[in-house]
């Protein structure tokens, strides 16, 4: 796992509970020092450097989970791991929607947008607090997810068709209501 901030820590808990051996790489020396107190296999290092990934065992890792919060660093790691450690599956955290679209263009099928799963969960709680029935709230949330997926597919297609201007087309994506 590359990145052990608030997001990576949650992911690691599930892996460890599932009896998956996890080696963690993080660029924050203080976080590494604090985490080692709990006996975790965590190493200090820059996940964008091939020699650091090799030393951490990335060539044998499957999957390599990318949990960094910087979209550009995540893309750098995807490029590096995809080119040098091609057998690894790459579950990747996407900072936001535009980062997710860029990752899809890089071959990541389903990047996990940082806030998208928690947003609909809070939506459901808010709908119920406003008196909407459980069934109606579930239907609304399912519709929001479906519409978001359709919009994502359309935006990926639109930016694919942009050719050499793909990055500029991605940058033009603005938040919109569905």
14-68: per-residue pLDDT in tens? 888 888 888 899 999 999 988 877 666 888 999 999 999 988 888 888 889 999 9
Predicted structure pTM score: 0.84
* Residue 31 structure tokens: 């976080």
Alpha-helical (H) ranges within 18-87 are: 29-36, 50-55, 71-84
Give the pairing of strands 93-94 and 112-113.
parallel
**Domain residue ranges in the chain:** 1-114, 116-178
Q: Which of 68, 76, 61 is nearest to 15 (CA)?
A: 61
- Which residue matches tokens 């263009």? 105
Does residue 78 register a pLDDT over 90? Answer: yes
pLDDT at 77: 94
CA distance 121 to 87: 34
pLDDT tens column, 121-146: 999 999 999 999 999 999 999 999 99
The CATH class of 1-114 is alpha beta
């Amino acid at each position: 796992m590359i990145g052990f901030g608030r997001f990576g820590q949650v992911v690691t808990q599930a892996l460890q509970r599932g009896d998956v051996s996890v080696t963690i790489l993080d660029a924050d020396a203080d976080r590494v020092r604090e985490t080692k107190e709990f006996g975790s296999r965590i190493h200090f290092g820059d996940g964008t450097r091939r020699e650091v990934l090799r030393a951490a065992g990335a060539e044998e890792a499957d999957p390599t989970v990318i949990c960094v919060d910087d979209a550009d660093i995540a893309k750098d790691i995807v490029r590096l791991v995809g080119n040098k450690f091609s057998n690894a599956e790459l579950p990747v955290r996407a900072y936001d929607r535009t980062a997710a679209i860029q990752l899809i263009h890089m071959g990541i099928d389903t990047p996990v947008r940082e806030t998208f799963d928690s947003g609909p969960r809070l939506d459901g709680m808010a709908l119920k607090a406003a008196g909407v029935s459980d069934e109606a709230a579930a239907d609304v949330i399912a519709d929001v997810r479906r519409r978001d997926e359709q919009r994502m597919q359309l935006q990926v297609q639109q930016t694919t068709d942009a050719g050499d201007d793909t990055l500029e087309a991605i940058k033009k994506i603005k938040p919109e209501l569905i």
